[in-house]
Amino acid sequence: MKRSTQNLLIALAAGSLAFSTLTGCTDHSRPNVELIQDMMESPAIKPQEYDENSPNHSGMRLPPEGTQPYGFTPYKYAKDIDGATGNKNPLAGDYSEDTLKVGIKFYVTNCAVCHGEQGQGGEKLSVGSKMALKPPSLWSPKVRAWTDGQIYHVITMGQGLMGPYASHIPQQYRWQVVNYVRTLQKENK
């Protein structure tokens, strides 16, 4: 059995040497044979790049219809505004530094542009002041009277001229934004 293993190793070494000699590849750190086309230089397309082969000529691809990301939980109140009113905040009353830090991050990135750094509304802001219909103040009695579920619903589905922010604010962080809005309301009575 030892003899057959030795013969096999010798045959492999000879084959490798013959392959190297035939292909001219003597420097094994840089082989010059590309066994699979375009593996060394892939024709990658960047997301915003023009792609002549796609139906909409965009490098970005929509996910297949009906698919969901791993760990995604569908929002069950998407078409049920009354049901969203009763949606309970799992982080209700949690105004810890960690919770508010995440809420602030997503609020400043997505909401402050129209509603203001402190939630005062669109009249004093550069973007909000240019809108025909000014974004409401988050301090208003109407918004203060909303349940946490209603605020979460507006963030997720949008309302009026405000579009949905479900794709901008990940599902697991929306309640933290709700808690941050509540702190803004408490600070500005």
Higher pLDDT residue, 72 or 125?
72
Position 55 scores a pLDDT of: 76
Q: Count Cβ atoms within 10 A of the Cβ of residue 146 and give its class: 0-12 exposed, 13-18 middle, 19 or more buried.
A: middle
Given a cut of 70, is residue 125 above it in pLDDT? no
Q: With pLDDT > 90 as the criterion, what percentage of the chain qualifies? A: 37
Q: What is the pLDDT of residue 150?
A: 96
The reported pLDDT for the residue numbered 98 is 94
Question: Has residue 51 got a pLDDT over 90?
Answer: no
The answer to whether residue 162 scores a pLDDT higher than 80 is yes
34 within 8 A of 23, measured Cβ to Cβ: no
Q: Does the structure show a pLDDT above 60 at 94?
A: yes
Cβ atoms of 119 and 137 within 8 Å: the answer is yes
Are 77 and 84 in contact by the 8 Å Cβ rule? The answer is yes
Domains of the chain, CATH where assigned: 97-187 (1.10.760.10)
Average pLDDT, the chain: 83
